[in-house]
Structure 1
Amino acid sequence: MTTASGLPAIRESVQWAVLDAPGGSPALIALAEAAVEHYALNYRKHPPAVLLEEVRGTRNLLSTATAAADRETEHALRRQVGWLSALLGNLAYHLDDRAGARTHLTLAGALGESTQEKALTAWASGALAMVATARRDWEHARKHAEYGLQHAPEGLRRAQLLGWALLPTLAATSRVAEADDAVAESDEIMRTADELPGRFGYDRAEHRLHVAEAYLTLERFDRAAGVARESIAAAPAETPGWVAATLVLALAEAREAPDQAATRALGVLDLVPPPRLRATARERLTRLGRLLDASAANSAAELAERLRTLPPPVRADGTAA
């Protein structure tokens, strides 16, 4: 599925369905569910700025149909608008628009509650915890994570909220015993849980990434490196998850092996085009650059220059780079 032709075709199919049934129909509900599934499963294949425009367009089409739908159809369409809003929030976050991310994710959570979609409420709360963690707002991060855990179905969803949402704030606030408990419980769930693909799913590669980052925050660098290697081994090469785990490994190595850490980061920059580097990857690269600032290694100097000239994901005029 190419970005240039295949991705707009999804939105265009939704547009035709709305034209065919302006007040909604069972076919439009099914098509909306399929569109959400497509965007979620193919999330990492498209540049975030491009995907955001397509998801936004699809959400607007469904919003038009929702306004004219009967009660049952409206309920079903609002649920899919909620999932699309969750995608928009995640995309905004990956484009470093944290205020936009909070806006979309708050709407997603509200629609999850009003449509009784517990998985959506839980996921949106976890994503809000992620956004709060990024701005070092530990109090709200923990509240969002705990709220998500209250709504998360048992099994994989609980492991996801523990590892993705709660663990980062526990590590950041040095709640070591609680962080270890969260790792132990989520690890136990992941041993037997069936993985779910896509943006709303969770798998062992992502789980090990969050555990590695928590160990990095707690300055358990050897553990962080070992778990990051597990995440790299489980993630498809050159995907955003692979990039994240590779950069976490580099951060864990930076103090003892600066040349190796810089070389690892340069390898990422050689393989991944700038438009596909998420804001989270750029933030990890910036942290690594600061750690290596005093290093005499040639690779560290090369990395500093590459980071200095790295184009932004979105130009000053708001268009994708």
Structure 2
Amino acid sequence: MAKVSRAHRAALAERAAHIRQQGQRANWDVAAIAAEMTRRLPELAALEVWRLAYGWSRPQVVAAIGELYAADGLAPPGVTTARLCRWEHDGVQPAPDYAAALARVYQVRPHRLGLNLPSLASTAGYGRRSQPSTLGAGMAETALTAVADSVALQRDLEGPAGGPGTRQHVQQAVDYYARHYSRYAPSVLAGEIHRARQMVVDMLTHDQHEADRAELRRLAGWLSALLGNLAFHTCDYAGAHIHLSTGARLGSSVGEGHLAGWSLGAQSMVAAFGQRPTDALELAQHAHDYADTPLRRAQITAWCELRALAALGRRSDAAAAAARAQHHMDSATDQPGRFGFDRAEFHQHLAESALRLGQTTAARDHADTALSVKPHGSPGWAAVTVILARTHAAEHAPADATAVATTVLDTVPTTHLRETTRQRLTALDQDLHTEHRPAPAAREFHDRLQTLPAPTPAQRTSSEPNGG
């Protein structure tokens, strides 16, 4: 490989960073970003391409290799950033063990890194198959942090007040957070959204054209709505109320009805889980004022109004609300993402309301329908699974109830266990202990719930956007 000057090398790295940002905005995976870098920057060796596609520095890769060795009970490797640089730039092949470790770090076959290891072609590790590890979580977290990093980089280019490119990056960040909401632990995601929102708040302190200021406030509102939901999922009811109120206020002030309506709907949910059904119903009725499509009307009716009516025991009103929600849903198209609504979630809410009203068979049917389309292990799957377990408890089948609910505790990491699911698990525990002599399985389930760690709060905070 021809010698490349340091200045040209820096220019290539900068171009690679731009390609990575473009790929992230288009929701490409790392492999697609690496392929585009290879196509547009043929001077880069494959080993360097994959590092840049992940956005990692050489010290980070060296540290990751060290973590692999430690996890395998091996002595620390002799890898340094200088050696990695030679492997990337001078065409020097690493020793087989190091090459296999690199393949595990980047989670690709060795040949895709330009490494000649035919004996390891069917494995992702040195002497053993790669197992899922914290590296996978680390890579996911790297993708998450890169979102706000991209906003910061664009703002550096356009100045403290930002500009059209920065506002576009913030919108893309909102879209990413909403689409991948369930992928990350709530506390981790909240920390990154706080970081993005703080940049928007900072930009609002600078002179802006009125239209630009309105756009920034709209974006701040959507970020606040996400933070409100995440605060609730980590049992921070006060924080949820503050953030969701901000989202509703900003949505109303800039004419973003969907934002205002969704934020009010989320406030209704928080009130319902806080055992304030009258407040929940009032908030749901206010949210209806902004529900301007069949899908949004179905969402507010099933998500908020029906829950409150069932909690209040208003059976005929709840039946009418369920019928209205079904009518709206029949003429709607599912919309994915945190701010959307789909038939799986629709049936989840019908199931929970039916259970609250003592309609066990209907609750089980709706739960089964929701489970048939919920991704296994997702937060939605966890919620419906516990609802299904409660139908078994209502039918005096404690062994079935605990067996079903235990799959949630065995599947979902405690860091991803939302307040809503925790409350449902607690309600199931209470269901199982209505008997004078609870079954052994119920006692074991109770003991396991007592060992659950408290929810992890957000890692960062940001000031509330002002109304100016």
TM-score (norm 2): 0.66
Partner residue in 1 for 2:441: 299
Helix, strand or coil at the partner of 1:76: helix
Is the aligned partner of 1:261 residue 2:398? no
- Residue 351 of structure 2 is matched in structure 1 by 212
**For the structure 1 residues 150 and 162, does the alpha-carbon distance in structure 2 shift closer, same or farther, using more than 3 Å as the test?**
same
Distance 2:181 2:447 in 1: 30
Q: Which residue of 1 aligns with 2:369?
A: 230
Map 1:1-321; keep pairs closer than 5 Å: 2-21=139-158, 22-68=160-206, 69-255=208-394, 256-293=396-433, 294=435, 296-314=438-456
Deviation, 1:193, is 1.2
Equivalences, count: 318
Distance (whole Å) between structure 2 residues aligned to residue 281 and residue 39 of structure 1: 21
Task: Provide runs of 4+ in structure 1 moved above 4 Å.
Answer: none
1:319 Cα deviation after fit: 6.3
Q: Helix, strand or coil: the match of 1:3?
A: helix
Give yes or no for contact 2:385–2:405 (8 Å, CA) kept in 1: yes
Root-mean-square deviation (Å): 1.6
Q: Are 2:273 and 2:420, in contact at CA under 8 Å, matched by a contact in 1? A: no
Answer whether contact 2:302 2:321 (CA < 8 A) is retained.
yes
- Preserved CA contact (<8 Å) 2:271 2:277: yes
Deviations 1:290-309 (A, max 9, x none): 22234653422321221121
Consecutive unaligned residues in structure 2, runs of 5 or more: 1-28, 30-138, 461-468
Distance 2:271 2:362 in 1: 25
What is the alpha-carbon distance in structure 2 between the residues aligned to residue 20 and residue 141 of structure 1? 45
Moved more, 168-177 or 76-85: 168-177
Q: C-alpha deviations, 1:218-271, integer Å up to 9, x for none?
A: 111111111111111121111000100000011111032110000001111111
Q: After alignment, is 42-51 or 15-24 more displaced?
A: 15-24
> Counterparts of 1:239 and 1:137 in 2: how far apart (Å)?
27
Q: Distance in 2 between matches of 1:168 and 1:282?
A: 17
Q: Distance in 1 between matches of 2:312 and 2:141?
A: 44
**Fraction of identical pairs, as percent:** 38
1:48-74 superposed Cα distances (whole Å, 9 cap, x missing partner): 000110001100001111222221111
Query: 1:162, 1:186 within 8 Å by CA — same for their partners in 2?
Result: yes
Q: Tell me, what secondary structure is at the counterpart of 1:313?
A: coil
Tell me, what secondary structure is at the counterpart of 2:363?
helix
Paired residues of 2:244 and 2:263 also in contact (CA < 8 A): yes
Are the aligned partners of 1:67 and 1:74 in contact in 2 as well (CA < 8 Å)? no
CA deviation after TM superposition for structure 1 residue 209, in Å: 0.7
- The TM-score with structure 1 as length reference comes to 0.95
Contact 2:191 2:459 survives alignment (8 Å)? no
For structure 1, which runs of at least 5 residues remain unmatched after alignment?
none
Give 1:165 deviation, angstroms.
1.1
Letter in 2 for 1:7: L
Return the structure number with greater relative CO, CA threshold 8 A, min gap 6.
1
Q: Provide the C-alpha distance between the structure 1 equivalents of 2:257 and 2:450, rounded to a whole number of angstroms.
A: 43
